[in-house]
Every structure is written in structure tokens, then in C-alpha cells.
A = this chain, B = another copy of it.
Amino acid sequence: MDHILYLYNTLSHTKEKFEPFHPPLVGLYVCGPTVYGDPHLGHARPAITFDLLYRYLTHLGFKVRYVRNITDVGHLEQDLDEGEDKIARQARIEKMEPMEVVQYYMNRYHDTMRKLNVLPPNIEPLASGHIIEQQELVKKLIDNGYAYESNGSVYFDVEKYNNKNHYGKLSGRKTEDLLAASRELEKQSDKRNPLDFALWKKAEPQHIMRWPSPWSDGFPGWHVECSVMSQKYLGNRFDIHGGGMDLLFPHHECEIAQTVASQGTESVKYWMHNNMVTLNGKKMGKSLGNSITLEEFITGHHKLLSNAYSPMTIRFFMLQAHYRSTLDFSNEALQAAAKGLDRLMEGFKNIDKIIPAKKSTINPDRIKKELYDAMNDDLNSPIAISHLFDGIRDINSVVSGNESLNSSDLVKIKKIYHTFIFDILGLQEEKDDAKGKGLLSDLINLLLMIRIDARKRKDFETADRIRDELSRLGVEVRDVKDGYEWKIN
């Protein structure tokens, strides 16, 4: 089968035929997390979206080099050019060395991704590990006249760049409109122009994360790392750059400006962006009080959740929406996803119950074509899943004797389902059945509620016993401000 894959390119606003620069090689860069807090749904969506892409490209025979970075320096509060570094701030709050914060939350991120069956990227570079490379880019931008030093910091000259190029081409913005908005948002500091963005920031005396440079002891601006690390590991021109839609502006816009201003041409052929996640129809956010971590979904321990949801339920739920649609989480929707996933897995198991007949009344090639057509149409996983369900109906009809399959078609059907469910969609059998896992979480939560009550009654013997026994059983309990967290080791 000759597959022609179409991918939606944010830059052209159209689905384009995917033709990598050097087939079968594919270079894929995706913006990873800033590691200063526990991973939440907003981290799961890009991870699962580009995991699906990585798996599908690999399945089609491409040799993909997948690079996904870790932002551990330079990402300031509210994505601005002034204010505290997100990691330094967390380090201050938790009284840790910034790199301890990075390590802790990076480990938590990896643990959660593993549960979601998200494959690790081939290279996962840290921003703090590429300071020299970032300084080299800044030097080049100064040499090319697109950056200027001011008070030890270095800024990108957006106005100059915009004379010959369009700053805002990816997100469809105009500098006039941006100017009007930005003046109020940000104090001007050392910039010539409010739209200019930081390439290198001079560190305040109390700032821990700092490196020597020709301009000051300081740290790189947030946008520099991705230009530098994508180029270092994928070359001056590479195939796909992905990330969440929230990164379109300013992050990816700045990346394009940096690249064009340094090397004269763009580096990315296809820009891909996943859409956002909402919760009960509302934007999620810590300040809005409706931010739920992935760990909380998995354990069910959050006041907005009526159940624990298994990692595969979360993954399946995400794949049931197209990556460019917004996705609304609610208990009802997740419960439906859990049931759907059960039905899919049961249906797959039913294939083994089929006794081959002489003739087939069902054509496996039809469903195979439908599945590939859906995936080739900009990774339309919800359509692919609906075809999988259609096929399950057919399979059940064969099991009940109303349809039939001959032995070669039976082998074919099983192979198709196996490929799509496990290899491409990346689902897996839950280690315990969904019921067992939910019950497991519910029992642990019950024990911990009894422990809290015991402590209130000063019955420390019972409280300690519960913690000790759980620890012995491999359930690690961590007391936190409003209660507890736990995980099964």
C-alpha cells in the first residue's frame, strides 16, 4: 500500500502532502514541558498527539529522529521578558536548588508519560545544557544586525526584522495590533521597542541560575533554546515542528524570527499545533481552582473527580478527539471513554473466539483502507476509532454466527486490529482490568481517609500503621498541604 499522508500546516493553513526533505529520514521537534510542577492534562495532550504522529510515521517506514526538549531555565512567569524564572521561583518556594526542582519534576513527568504509554523521544535536551550554543546564536544575531545589547541584556530587534519579514506570519498577527496590546502588558525595561524579546538576560544579583557571557552573567531568553536545540540535532532545515497552540505566539513566532534572522531562511517545513484542553467547558488553571494533575486523574483523588481514571482511559479519551479540536474533560465523558475502551479491547479479544469458515462475508481490506485513510487525513484518530468500532460490530456478528470469515481473512483482521490498537494508537492492556484498578484506588483512598480521621483523634498508632503497611505493599504516601498524594511503586 502506498500511503500519502496529509498534515495540516499551521503556516499555510492547509493540509499539505507530507514530503520530508530526506526520506526515509524525518526530523521532528516538539516543545516539551517547563518542569516546575506536576504534569497535567495540558502536558498530556501534546505528548499524546506527537506520540501518535511519531508512532504513525514509524509505522509507515520513516526513520524518525524525535527531539523533545525540557525547559529548565529562562521561562519567566506569564511568559514575559521580565519577572521571576518559573523554576527559580519554585525552588525558592520549596527551598531547593533549582536543579533539584528540575530533576524532581522531570522524573515525575517521565513517570506519568510512561503510564500514558508515550514513547520517549530519541533526544531530550535540556535548555541549561546548551548555553554555549545559545550564546553562539545570540552572537550571530548581533553580528547580523538583528539584535542589540542593552544594559547587559540582549534583545531581538523586531521592528528591523519586520521591515523585510513578517513577524506574526505563523499566528496571523500584525505588529500594529501587537504593539497596541503589549504596551500595557509589559513595562519597557531596556528594550528599544516593546515588541522586542529577550535573547539574553542579565541576572539580578540574587538570581542563582547564571552563566558568564560576553554581555553579562545571565541566562538565555526562553525562545532561544528551541531554535538552537532543534538546529543542533536536526539541522538547518528539518521537517516538522510541533507544540501546543498556546505556544504559537510568542514562542514559535520568535523561533521563526530568530532562525530567519540568523540563517536567512526558515528551518521548519511543517508546523503542527495541538489544540487546548478544557474542563467542564472552562479553561483550566491553577488560579481558577480547576487544575487537575494527571496523577490526580489516575488516583481519582480530587474533589472534581467522581472516579479514578486509568491512564489508558485518558489516552483513549484524547485520541477520540482530533488533535486540532478543543477537548473538554468531564466525568461523564471520561466514564464513556472507559466504557468505549473496554468495548474495543473486548472486541479485539473476541477475534480469538472466531472459528474460521470456508467463505468470508466480510472484507478486511475495506476496514484496513478506511483506517489508513483516516490516519492519512491529518491523523484523524477519532474517525479511525469509529471505524474500529464498526469493525467490532462485524466481528461480534461473526462470533454470533451471522457473518463469517475464512482463515486468511481472520489472520488479516487480527493483524489490522493489533497494528492500529497497540502500535499506532499506542493503547495497551491495563495491568489490572479497569474495575480492579478503580477499586484499588478507591481502597487506598478509603484507607487514607481513615488515617486522616485517626490522626484527628490522635490515634497515631492506627495512622502510622496504615502508612507503614501501605509502604510495605508498595504504595508510597506523601503528605501534602491539603491532604495526601500516593502512587503505587
Contacts and interface: CB of A to CB of B under 8 A. Distances in A.
Contacts of A137: none
A137 to B, nearest CB: 12
Interface in A412-432: 415, 418, 422-423, 428-429, 431-432
B103 A474 contact: no
A133 B126 CA distance: 16
A442 interface: yes
Contacts of A423: 471
Interface string A118-132: 001111111011111
Nearest to A461: B411
B123 A97 contact: yes
A468 interface: yes
Given A103-B120, A136-B212, A447-B446, A65 B97 contact: yes
A133 B129 CA distance: 11
Contacts of A422: 471-472
Interface stretch (A152-160, A181-189, A394-402, A433-441): A433-441
A239 to B, nearest CB: 15
Contacts of A428: 474, 489
A233 interface: yes
A466 B443 contact: no
Copies in the complex: 2
A211 to B, nearest CB: 5
A474 B99 contact: no
A107 interface: yes
A346 interface: no
Contact of A122 (B65, B103, B132): B103
A10 B468 CA distance: 37
Interface in A455-485: 461-462, 465-466, 468-475
Contacts of A125: 99
A233 B126 contact: no
A132 B211 contact: yes
Interface string A122-151: 111110111111001000000000000000
A453 interface: yes
A50 to B, nearest CB: 16
Closest 3 CB pairs of A and B: A129-B129, A432-B436, A443-B443
25 contacts: A97-B233, A99-B123, A99-B125, A103-B124, A104-B122, A126-B129, A131-B131, A132-B212, A136-B212, A411-B461, A415-B468, A422-B471, A423-B471, A428-B489, A429-B472, A431-B435, A439-B473, A439-B474, A442-B473, A443-B443, A443-B444, A447-B447, A450-B465, A450-B466, A453-B462
Interface of A: 65, 97, 99-100, 103-104, 107, 110, 117, 120-126, 128-133, 136, 211-212, 233, 411, 415, 418, 422-423, 428-429, 431-432, 435-437, 439-440, 442-444, 446-447, 450, 453-454, 461-462, 465-466, 468-475, 488-489
